[in-house]
Amino acid sequence: MSVACTPVRTLRGATVVLALVTLASSCSLGNSAESTSASKDSAQRTESSTAQKSLPPSSEQQPLSWTNCADDLAAAAGLECATLQVPIDPASPSGPTTELALIRQPSTGSASERIGSLVINPGGPGGSGLEFLTSAAAAFPSELTDAFDLVSFDPRGVAASSPVRCLDDAAAEEQLAGDLSPDTAEELSKAVADQKQFLASCRSNSAELLTHMSTADVAADLDQIRSALGDEKLTYLGFSYGTAIGAVYATLYPENSRALVLDGSVSPKSTSEEEALAQAQGFENTLANFVSACNADKGCALGPDAAAKIAATRNELNKKPVQVVTPSGTRTLGVDLFDIGLATALYDTSLWGTAAEAIRDINSGGGQLIFSLVDRQLGRQPDGSFDNSSAAQSMVSCADSTERPTAEQSQQAAERIQAAAPTFGQALGWATLSCLGWPMAANPLPEISGKGSPTVLVVGTLGDPATPYAWAEEMTAALESAVLLTYEGDGHTAFLRGGPCVDNAVVTYLIELTVPKVGTRCPNKEQDLSFGGLRDEVVSQLVEGGLPKKLAECVIDGVIKESGSAEFNRMVLEEDVEKLSQLVTAQTLGCASAGD
- As annotated, the active-site residues are 240, 464, 492
Q: 466 and 282 in contact (C-beta within 8 Å)?
A: yes
Asked if residue 140 lies in contact with residue 99, where contact means CB atoms within 8 angstroms, the answer is no
Residue 81: asked if its preceding bond is cis (omega within 30°), the reply is: no
d(CA 66, CA 53): 20
Helix, strand, coil distribution of the chain in percent, nearest 5:
50, 15, 40
Q: How far is CA 267 from CA 91, 336, 473, 484, 494, in A?
A: 26, 26, 9, 14, 17
Distance of alpha carbon 26 from alpha carbon 351, whole angstroms: 28
Q: Which long-range contacts (CB under 8 A, 24 or more apart) does 193-202 make?
A: 195/433, 195/434, 195/436, 195/437, 196/437, 197/167, 197/171, 198/166, 198/167, 198/394, 199/437, 199/438, 199/439, 201/165, 201/166, 201/167, 201/168, 201/171, 202/164, 202/165, 202/166, 202/391, 202/394, 202/395
With beta carbons less than 8 A apart as the criterion, state whether 482 and 450 touch.
yes
Please count the CA atoms within 13 angstroms of the CA of 241 that sit on its side-chain side: 29
**Cβ burial 296-325 (10 Å sphere, 16+ → b, else e):** ebeebbbbeebeebbeebbeebeeebeebe
Nearest to 395 by CA among 169, 175, 218: 218
| Cβ–Cβ under 8 Å, residues 264 and 475 | no
Number of Cβ within a 10 Å radius of residue 395: 29
Separation of alpha carbons 482 and 230, rounded Å: 26
CA 100, distance to chain mean position in Å, is 19
Query: Alpha-carbon distance 516 to 485, whole Å?
Result: 7
Helix or strand or coil: residue 579? helix
Rounded CA-CA distance 209/66 in Å is 26
Q: What is the DSSP annotation of 309-375?
A: HHHHHHHHHHHS-EEEEETTEEEEE-HHHHHHHHHHHHT-GGGHHHHHHHHHHHHTT--HHHHHHHH
Q: Are 159 and 387 in contact (CB under 8 A)?
A: yes
